[in-house]
Structure 1
Amino acid sequence: MQRMILSKKNQITFLSGILIAIGLFGHFVLHNSLVFNTAFITASILGLAPIAIQSYQALKVKVVSIDVLVTIAVIGAFLIQNFEESAIVTFLFLFGAYLEQRTLNQTRSAIKELVEMAPESAFIQTETGEFEEVDVDEVDEGDILLVRTGAKVPVDGTVLTGEAYINEASITGESLPVTKVVGSEVFAGSILENGTIQIRADKVGEDTTFGKIIELVEEAQDSKSEAERFIDHFSKYYTPAVLILAIVVWLFSRDIELAITILVLGCPGALVIGVPVSNVAGIGNGARNGVLLKGSEVINDFSNVDTIVFDKTGTLTVGNPEVAETAFYGNNTDEALRYLANVERESDHPLAKAVLANIGTFKTVPVENTDVIKGGGIIAQVNGQRVSVGNVALMKKEQVKLDEKARKDIEEFEKNGNSLVLTAVDGELKVLMGIRDQVRPGVKKDLQKLKNLGVKNLVVLSGDNQGTVDLVAKELGLSEAHGHMLPEDKSAHIAKLQKEGQIVAFVGDGVNDSPSLALADIGIAMGSGTDVAIETSDVVLMNSDFSRLPHALGLTKVTARNMKQNILIAVGVVLILLASLLFSEWMNMSIGMLVHEASILVVIFNGMRLLKYRLKEDKYEMKTSIKEMDVAK
Structure 2
Amino acid sequence: MLKRFTDFLAGVPMTIVSGIFLLLDLVPHLSEELTGSEIGALPAPFDPAWATIFISGVPLVYLGVWRVIHNKGISKISSALLIDVAMVAAIAIGELFAAGEVAFIMALGAILEDKTTERARKGIKSLIALAPTMARRIDGGTETEVPADQILSGELVRVRPGETIPVDGRIVAGESSVDQSVMTGESLPQDKGPGDEVFSGTINRFGSIDVEATKVGQDSSLSRLIRMVEDAEGKQAPMQRIADRVASWLVPVALLIAVGAYLITGDLVKAVTVLVVFCPCALVLATPTAIMAAIGQATKHGVIIKGGEALERMGKVDTIAFDKTGTLTYGRLEVSDVIPLDGRLPQELLALAAAAEVRSEHPLGKAVVAQAAAEGVAVAEPDAFAMDAGRGVRARMGAAAVLCGSAAYLAEHQVACTTADVPLKRLCAEGKATVLVAIDGRLAGVIALSDTLRPSAAEMTRRLAGMGVRTVLLTGDSSAAASYFAGRAGVSEVHAELLPEEKVDAVERLRTRGHMVCMVGDGVNDAPALKTADVSVAMGEMGSDIAVDAADIALMGDDVSKIPYLKRLSNACVATIKFGITLSMCLNAVAITLSLVGWLTPVTGALWHNAGSVLVVLIAALLYDRRFD
TM over 0.5: yes
Paired with 1:47 and 1:253, the residues of 2 have a C-alpha distance of 31
- Cα separation, partners in 2 of 1:253 and 1:611, compared to 1, 3 Å: same
Between Structure 1 and Structure 2, how many residues are aligned? 481
The question of whether the paired residues in 2 share the 8 Å contact of 1:341 and 1:356 is answered with yes
Aligned counterparts of 2:60 and 2:310: Cα–Cα separation in 1: 33
Distance in 2 of aligned mates of 1:473 and 1:102: 45
Asked if 1:392 is matched to 2:393, the reply is: no
Residue 461 of structure 2 is aligned to residue 444 of structure 1: no
SS in 1 for 2:514: coil
What displacement does 1:320 show?
0.7
Q: Distance in 1 between matches of 2:111 and 2:42?
A: 31
Q: Contact 1:320/1:437 (CA < 8 Å) preserved in 2?
A: yes
* Residues 35-94 of structure 1 deviation map (CA, whole Å, 9 limit, x = unaligned): x3335678997563444434763587375674773574376367xxxxxxx88x689x49
How much has 1:310 moved relative to structure 2? 1.5
TM-score by length of 2: 0.64
- Following the alignment from structure 2 to structure 1, what is the Cα–Cα distance between the partners of residues 600 and 247? 24
Aligned letter for 1:467? A
Show structure 1 runs of 5+ residues with no match.
Answer: 28-35, 79-85, 112-222, 617-633
Q: d(CA) in 1 for partners of 2:545 and 2:624?
A: 28
- The range that moved more, 13-22 or 314-323, is 13-22
Whether the 8 Å contact between 1:524 and 1:537 is mirrored in structure 2 is: yes
- 2-side partners of 1:319 and 1:281: how far apart? 33
Query: In structure 1, what is the Cα distance between the partners aligned to 2:106 and 2:85?
Result: 20
* Closer, same or farther: CA 73–471 of 1 in aligned 2, 3 Å: same
Paired residue for 2:484?
A: 471
Partner of 2:295: 283
Q: 1:429 is matched with which residue: 435, 443, 448?
A: 443
Displacement after TM superposition at 1:256 (Å): 2.7
Q: 1:44 to 1:66 in 2, by over 3 A?
A: farther
Q: Does residue 99 of structure 2 align to residue 69 of structure 1? A: no
In structure 2, the residue matched to 1:534 is 548
User: Match for residue 38 of structure 1?
Assistant: 39
Contact 2:289 2:620 in 1 (8 A): yes
Match of 1:146 in 2: none
Task: Decide which moves more: 473-482 or 314-323.
Answer: 473-482
Structure 1 segment 33-432 matched on structure 2, within 5 A: 36-39=37-40, 46=47, 48-54=49-55, 57-58=58-59, 61=62, 63=64, 66=83, 69=86, 72-73=89-90, 76=93, 93=101, 226-228=239-241, 231-232=243-244, 242=254, 246=258, 249-250=261-262, 253-328=265-340, 329-330=342-343, 337-360=350-373, 362-368=379-385, 370-372=386-388, 374=390, 376-400=391-415, 409-414=423-428, 416-432=430-446
Q: Does 1:513 pair with 2:526?
A: yes
Q: What is the percent sequence identity of the aligned residues?
A: 28
SS in 1 for 2:304: strand
Residue matched to 2:512: 499
Structure 1 residues 520 and 348: alpha-carbon distance in aligned structure 2, compared to 1, 3 A threshold: farther
Query: How far, CA to CA, are the matches of 1:465 and 1:442 in structure 2?
Result: 23
Write the letter of the residue equivalent to 1:514: A
Cα gap change, 1:47 to 1:550, in 2 (>3 Å): same
Tell me which residue corresponds to 2:176. Answer: none
The answer to whether the 8 A contact 2:433-2:448 is kept is: yes
Instruction: State the distance in 2 between where 1:299 and 1:523 align.
Output: 10
Counterpart Cα distance in 2 of 1:365 and 1:291: 48
Counterpart in the other structure of 1:483: 496
Per-residue deviation, 1:437: 0.9
**Inter-CA distance 398–271: structure 2 relative to 1 (3 Å threshold):** same
Secondary structure of 1:576's partner?
helix
Change in 2 beyond 3 A, CA 1:305/1:26: closer
Residue 535 of structure 2 aligns with which residue? 522
User: Is the Cα contact below 8 Å between 1:299 and 1:556 reproduced in 2?
Assistant: yes
Paired with 1:485 and 1:233, the residues of 2 have a C-alpha distance of 39
The answer to whether the 8 Å contact 1:77/1:260 transfers is: no
In 2, Cα distance between equivalents of 1:537 and 1:266: 38
Give distance in 2, aligned partners of 1:294 and 1:535: 10
Where 2:462 maps in the other structure, the secondary structure is helix
CA distance in 2, matches of 1:544, 1:394: 38
Give the direction of change, closer, same or farther, for the CA distance of 1:613–1:393 in structure 2 (3 Å limit). farther
Cα distance, 1:322 vs structure 2 = 0.6
Whole-Å separation in 1 of the counterparts to 2:454 and 2:356: 30
Work out the CA distance in 2 between the residues paired with 1:531 and 1:5. 36
| Residues 154-182 of structure 1, C-alpha deviations (whole Å, 9 max, x = no match) | xxxxxxxxxxxxxxxxxxxxxxxxxxxxx
Q: Which residue of 2 aligns with 1:568?
A: 582
SS at match of 2:382: coil
Query: Displacement of 1:446 after TM fit?
Result: 1.5
Per-residue CA distance 1:260-307 (angstroms, 9 max, x = gap): 322332222212222222233333333333223333332232222222
> What SS does structure 2 have at the residue aligned with 1:37?
coil
The answer (yes or no) to whether the contact 1:293–1:539 under 8 Å persists in 2 is: yes
Deviation at 1:98, TM superposition (A): 8.6
Query: The residue matched to 2:334 in structure 1 has which SS?
Result: strand
Q: CA deviation at 1:459?
A: 1.6
Query: How has the CA–CA distance of structure 1 residues 334 and 383 changed in structure 2, closer, same or farther, with 3 Å as cutoff?
Result: farther
SS in 1 for 2:465: helix
Distance 2:427 2:434 in 1: 8
Larger RCO (CA under 8 A, 6+ residues apart): 2
- 1-structure distance, mates of 2:117, 2:509: 39
State whether residues 117 and 308 of structure 2, in contact with CA within 8 Å, keep that contact through their aligned partners in structure 1. Answer: no
Alignment-mate amino acid for residue 319 of structure 2: T
For 1:185, the equivalent position in structure 2 comes to none
TM-score relative to the length of structure 1: 0.64
1:550 alignment counterpart: 564
Deviation at 1:546, TM superposition (A): 1.5
Q: Say if 1:235 and 1:5 are closer, same or farther in 2 by CA, change over 3 A.
A: same
Once residues 491 and 20 of structure 1 are traced to their aligned partners in structure 2, the CA distance between those partners, rounded to angstroms, is: 60
Contact 1:235 1:272 in 2 (8 A): no
Letter in 2 for 1:389: C
Shift of 1:425: 1.1
Bigger drift between 384-393 and 40-49 goes to 40-49
**Greater mean deviation of Cα atoms: 589-598 or 299-308:** 589-598
Distance (whole Å) between structure 2 residues aligned to residue 428 and residue 347 of structure 1: 22
Distance in 1 (CA, whole Å) between partners of 2:412 and 2:460 is 45
In the alignment, the residues of structure 2 paired with residue 350 and residue 561 of structure 1 have an alpha-carbon distance, to the nearest angstrom, of 48
CA contact (8 A) 1:107 1:281 kept: no
- Provide closer, same or farther for how the CA distance between residues 522 and 335 of structure 1 changes in structure 2, counting only shifts above 3 A: same
Distance 1:429 1:452, change over 3 A: same
Contact in 2 for aligned 1:342/1:367 (Cα 8 Å)? no
Unaligned runs of 5+ in 2: 1-8, 65-80, 119-235
CA distance in 2, matches of 1:333, 1:255: 95
Given that 1:107 and 1:280 are in contact with CA atoms closer than 8 Å, whether structure 2 keeps it comes out as no
Alpha-carbon shift at residue 325 of structure 1 (Å): 1.9
Change (3 A) 1:243 1:44: farther
Once the two structures are TM-superposed, the CA of residue 598 in structure 1 deviates from its matched residue by 1.9
